[in-house]
Amino acid sequence: GALRVVDSSAFLRPQVEHFRLAKLYQSLALMFRGGYTFDEALQVCLGLGLGERLQRSLTRARDDIARGRGVDEALRDAGLTDSVTARMIAAGSRSGQFDSVLAVVAERHATAFSTFIERATRLVEPLLLLVVALLVGSIVVLMYMPIFDIASGLGGPGR
């Protein structure tokens, strides 16, 4: 339905991707902070309904981590991070602040999505007001048309 249309839109897909990644990283941070292993947290995140692409990417990252690859490399190669995020995750795993780094990554994606929503609202709001004004104006004109017809019929050539 609507998600399929959004995923096929080249303009909206990256924005929805920010939302999904924010949801993923926030979930990972909460579960990791709550005592889950990273593998268990990834397994739980497979059930979040993040879309087909992220599901495949999570599965690939999980398999790579199980083979002994680093978390930052596995997530980067699966397409779940950009270069900045991969470096942050690598630093977080070395420093022992992994859950905090995951929360910061989630916040970055949430901020990007919020910015998009604010800008889209600023664009769409005036357009909606214009549509409503045109609709109300049309209704008013349509209501007065019969009155003008009656008035022109009363003052016609027969008098």
Q: Convert the pLDDT of each residue in 2-58 to its tens digit.
A: 667 777 777 888 888 999 999 999 999 999 899 998 889 999 998 888 888 899 999
Q: Burial level of 26, CB count in 10 A (0-12/13-18/19+)?
A: middle
Q: How sure is the predictor about 147, in pLDDT bands with cuts at 50, 70 and 90?
A: confident
Determine the average pLDDT of the residues in 86-97: 89
In sequence order, what E strands does 2-159 have? none
What is the three-state SS of 85-122? HHHHHHHHHHHCCHHHHHHHHHHHHHHHHHHHHHHHHH
Provide the 10 A C-beta neighbour count for residue 76: 21
Q: Inform me whether the pLDDT recorded for 103 exceeds 90.
A: yes
Higher-scoring residue by pLDDT: 99, 153? 99
Q: What is the pLDDT of residue 155?
A: 65
Q: What is the pLDDT of residue 158?
A: 53
Q: What's the CA angle centered on 21, arms 16 and 26, to 5 degrees?
A: 130
Query: Rounded mean pLDDT of the chain?
Result: 88
Q: Convert the pLDDT of each residue in 128-146 to its tens digit.
A: 999 999 999 999 999 988 8
Q: Convert the pLDDT of each residue in 42-76 to its tens digit.
A: 999 988 888 888 999 999 999 999 999 888 899 99
Measured distance CA(30)–CA(70) in Å, rounded: 20
